[in-house]
């Protein structure tokens, strides 16, 4: 009869199964780790890419703001803008510090040939020599009248941009659309290096604001413009050696900027990631080719997946040897499986802890951003008061008044964004769920009061009288849905919102329906994404966070929210809500 120890010393089918499963877990851990690492690295590239694209778009937007402030200045002066006026205005912009990358800012006048003597008489009265060049046969002229700083742009004074198709076409497009436009690639006359550049135009008109193409052409007086050398524009964004990506910019077939130089110390001949992005840039399409460089490769190289695989294979070898040598292999296999389970649990807990820290960081960062926003708002008020004392009421200075209004609008939007991010991050864990009962009628009454509505605009039909589970989150969900229904209604005074709640045994089915303009089906998923909004230019400002908060609050209870809508037929949001706290936890665990 075999001894028990002999039986224990054999490699049984159970042992083989355990080893196979353990090997599978090792491979699974390796694949999971590799997938997670690859995903993290790709997310870093996406972040770097979005940052680069965002910097380009934001910088051009700031330049556009400067042009429109110049348009406001010219409009305020009408036809009385002088050389000295423009020099003083340019000095207030502080171009070198606030708008790095811009070569200057100037005025181009539209002059019919029969009006040329009068135009030249005005220029002759100025303390400088002025002539228009080169000659051409077009029935109108577009001379650069003023350009500051003249020290670095003097060669461009008097240049008639009508002589060249590229410059002329973009300027006339700006005239006809009433919007800012840029030229295709050109070489600036003031650029001794003869590198790629372009001109940025913003039109101004005589009389009242034109509304039709015919009016714009009839009232067109010229443009405020800024010349750019693309190389300097990019250098003003972010130093190349501080970025983990290099990029090139192509306007149609012409490359106007290129960092993909094999002689560059950070050039990567086989980049880890590469993506091409098309930007609609003021009437032109810029194709941006973004590639990772050696700095990105160095910062994102990791041997962790390989170490996990190698370590796992070593462990498997040891397991097989120990199974052959030790009689008590079952206990070893049990301990080994238990150890792996504990390690996986610890990794999971670390990930949960890291996610909690990230949410806390987002909340704190958003909260801290409110302080400089309030400081900027206070400083704006002080500056406006000081200017009022110096030059009188700003209502008489439409250009300054519009610029202060623009600052306050953007401060309000920044404040709304930070507040939305704080609320989004505070849609926390189920541990914060309370069991306080909140009467539905009182809740709706508060909302009607908060949004200054007629009580008849909001109707409630409910199988229950109060919300018990997580009433605070339910209030936030209802407030956001009601706010959207009223804010984006074509006629808020005619808005009608119906809230219907059905008792479905262990949960509630909630419907919020309005009679607004509706949402096209292709946008039903987009509206729930953070910072996404379908807002038109005439609609109220929106942070794009409200519906994200709604979805997150519903999902943390284990449910989903859906939208039923089409254009012109109103919108209905439908979701489930738990009746009790324990049932909410059960739903979340089931969803997980």
pLDDT in tens, the chain (592 residues): 444 444 445 567 876 777 788 778 878 777 877 788 888 989 999 999 999 999 899 989 999 999 999 999 998 886 678 999 999 999 999 988 888 878 899 999 999 999 999 999 999 999 999 999 999 999 999 999 999 999 889 999 999 999 999 999 999 999 999 999 999 999 887 777 788 999 999 999 998 999 999 999 999 999 999 999 888 888 766 666 567 899 999 999 999 999 999 999 999 999 999 999 999 999 999 999 999 999 999 888 766 666 666 766 777 677 666 666 655 666 777 777 788 888 888 877 777 665 655 555 555 555 555 567 666 766 777 787 777 777 877 777 777 777 777 776 666 556 555 555 555 555 554 444 456 788 999 889 988 887 888 999 999 999 999 988 888 888 888 988 998 889 888 899 999 999 999 998 889 999 999 999 988 888 888 887 754 554 444 454 445 577 888 888 888 888 999 999 988 889 999 999 998 765 554 454 444 4
Domain-located, residue 411: yes
Same domain, 98 and 208: yes
Same domain, 410 and 447: no
Same domain, 541 and 421: no
pLDDT of residue 242: 64
Last residue of a domain, one of 372, 394, 426: 426
pLDDT of residue 174: 97
36: left (phi over 0), alpha (psi -120 to 50) or beta: alpha
Same domain, 541 and 491: yes
pLDDT of residue 544: 57
Distance CA 252, CA 212 (A): 30
Is cis: bond before 149, omega within 30 of 0? yes
Same domain, 418 and 508: no
The H or E element spanning position 279 is strand 274-281
Same domain, 415 and 380: yes
Taking the CB of residue 98, how many other CB atoms lie within 10 A of it? 10
Q: What is the CA radius of gyration of the chain?
A: 33
Taking the CB of residue 232, how many other CB atoms lie within 10 A of it? 15
What 3-state DSSP class applies to 511?
A: strand
Distance CA 48, CA 300 (A): 13
Number of H helices, E strands in the chain: 17, 18
Quote the longest CA-to-CA distance of the chain: 125
Q: Domain limits at 374? A: 360-426
Tell me how far the alpha carbon of residue 333 is from its chain's centroid. 52
Domain-located, residue 470: yes
Domain-located, residue 345: no
292: left (phi over 0), alpha (psi -120 to 50) or beta: beta
pLDDT of residue 357: 56
Distance CA 458, CA 479 (A): 12
Joined tokens for residue 237: 């964004």
Residues 203 and 220 sit within 8 Å (Cβ to Cβ): yes
Joined tokens for residue 209: 């604001």
Same domain, 394 and 477: no
Residue whose C-alpha is closest to residue 158's, from 181, 141, 180: 141
Same domain, 570 and 536: yes
What 3-state DSSP class applies to 205?
A: strand
The CATH number for 541's domain is 3.30.565.10
Q: Are strands 497-504 and 458-462 parallel, antiparallel or unpaired?
A: parallel
Distance CA 452, CA 482 (A): 12
pLDDT of residue 558: 87
544: left (phi over 0), alpha (psi -120 to 50) or beta: left
**What's the DSSP call for residue 429?**
-
What 3-state DSSP class applies to 427?
A: coil
Last residue of a domain, one of 406, 426, 446: 426
Domain-located, residue 575: yes
Domain-located, residue 129: yes
Tell me how far the alpha carbon of residue 501 is from its chain's centroid. 36
- Say if residue 335 is exposed, middle or buried (CB neighbours under 10 Å; 0-12, 13-18, 19+): exposed
Overall size of the chain counted in residues:
592
Residue whose C-alpha is closest to residue 67's, from 44, 90, 87, 51: 90
Last residue of a domain, one of 426, 450, 465: 426
Distance CA 125, CA 388 (A): 33
Joined tokens for residue 205: 């008109």
Same domain, 397 and 527: no
Same domain, 449 and 408: no
Same domain, 364 and 481: no
Domain-located, residue 93: yes
Joined tokens for residue 248: 């090139």
Domain-located, residue 52: no
Distance CA 292, CA 244 (A): 6
The CATH number for 167's domain is 3.30.450.350
Please state the pTM of the whole predicted model: 0.50
Joined tokens for residue 289: 């080719």
Handedness of CA 183, 189, 191, 193 (dihedral sign): positive
Q: Are strands 507-514 and 497-504 parallel, antiparallel or unpaired?
A: antiparallel
Same domain, 463 and 584: yes
Distance CA 316, CA 309 (A): 10
Overall domain count for the chain: 3
Domain-located, residue 555: yes
């Amino acid at each position: 009869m075999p001894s028990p120890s002999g039986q224990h010393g054999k490699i049984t089918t159970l042992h083989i199964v355990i080893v196979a499963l353990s090997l599978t877990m090792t491979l699974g851990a390796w694949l999971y780790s590799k997938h997670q690492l690859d995903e993290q690295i790709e997310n870093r590239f996406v972040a770097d890419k979005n940052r680069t694209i965002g910097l380009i778009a934001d910088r051009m937007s700031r330049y556009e703001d400067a042009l429109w402030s110049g348009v406001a200045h010219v409009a305020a002066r009408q036809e009385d803008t002088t050389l000295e006026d423009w020099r003083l205005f340019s000095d207030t912009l502080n171009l070198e510090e606030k708008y790095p990358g811009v070569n200057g800012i100037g005025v181009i006048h539209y002059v019919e040939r029969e009006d040329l003597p009068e135009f030249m008489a005005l220029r002759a009265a100025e303390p400088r020599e002025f002539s228009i060049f080169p000659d051409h046969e077009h029935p109108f002229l577009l001379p650069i009248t003023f350009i500051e700083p003249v020290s670095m742009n003097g060669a461009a004074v008097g240049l008639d941009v009508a002589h060249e198709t590229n410059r002329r076409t973009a300027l006339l497009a700006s005239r006809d659309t009433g919007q800012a436009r840029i030229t295709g690639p050109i070489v600036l006359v003031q650029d001794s290096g003869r590198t790629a550049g372009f001109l940025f135009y913003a039109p101004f008109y005589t009389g009242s604001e034109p509304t039709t193409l015919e009016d714009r052409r009839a009232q067109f007086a010229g443009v405020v413009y800024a010349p750019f050398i693309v190389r300097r524009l990019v250098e003003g964004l972010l130093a190349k050696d501080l970025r983990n990506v290099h990029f090139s910019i192509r306007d149609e077939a012409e490359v106007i900027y290129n960092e993909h130089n094999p002689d560059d110390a950070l050039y990567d001949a086989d980049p880890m990631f590469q993506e091409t992005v098309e930007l609609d840039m003021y009437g032109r399409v810029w194709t941006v080719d973004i590639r990772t460089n050696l700095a990105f490769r160095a910062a994102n190289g990791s041997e962790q997946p390989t170490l996990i695989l190698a370590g796992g294979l070593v462990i498997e070898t040891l397991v097989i040897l120990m199974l052959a040598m030790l009689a008590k292999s079952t206990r070893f296999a049990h301990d080994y499986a238990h150890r792996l389970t504990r390690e996986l649990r610890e990794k999971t807990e670390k990930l949960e802890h890291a996610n909690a820290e990230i949410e806390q960081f987002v909340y704190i960062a958003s909260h801290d951003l409110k302080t400089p926003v309030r400081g900027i708002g206070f400083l704006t008020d002080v500056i406006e008061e000081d200017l009022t004392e110096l030059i009188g009421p700003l209502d008489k200075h439409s250009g300054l008044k519009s610029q202060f209004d623009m600052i306050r609008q953007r401060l309000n939007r920044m404040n709304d964004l930070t507040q939305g991010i704080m609320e989004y991050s505070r849609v926390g864990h189920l541990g914060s769920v309370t069991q306080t009962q909140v009467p539905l009628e009182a809740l709706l009454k508060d909302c009607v009061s908060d949004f200054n509505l007629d009580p008849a605009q909001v109707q409630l039909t409910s199988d229950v009288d109060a919300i018990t589970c997580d009433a605070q989150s339910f209030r936030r969900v209802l407030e956001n849905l009601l706010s959207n229904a009223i804010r984006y209604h074509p006629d808020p005074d005619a808005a009608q919102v119906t809230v219907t709640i059905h008792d479905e045994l262990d949960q509630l089915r909630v419907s919020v329906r309005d009679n607004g303009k509706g949402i096209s089906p292709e946008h039903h998923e987009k509206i729930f994404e953070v910072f996404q909004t379908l807002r038109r230019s005439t609609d109220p400002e929106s942070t794009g966070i409200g519906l994200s908060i709604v979805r997150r609050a519903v999902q943390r209870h284990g449910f989903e929210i859906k939208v039923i809508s089409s254009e012109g037929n109103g919108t209905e949001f439908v979701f489930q809500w738990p009746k009790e706290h324990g049932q909410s936890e059960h739903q979340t665990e089931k969803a997980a």
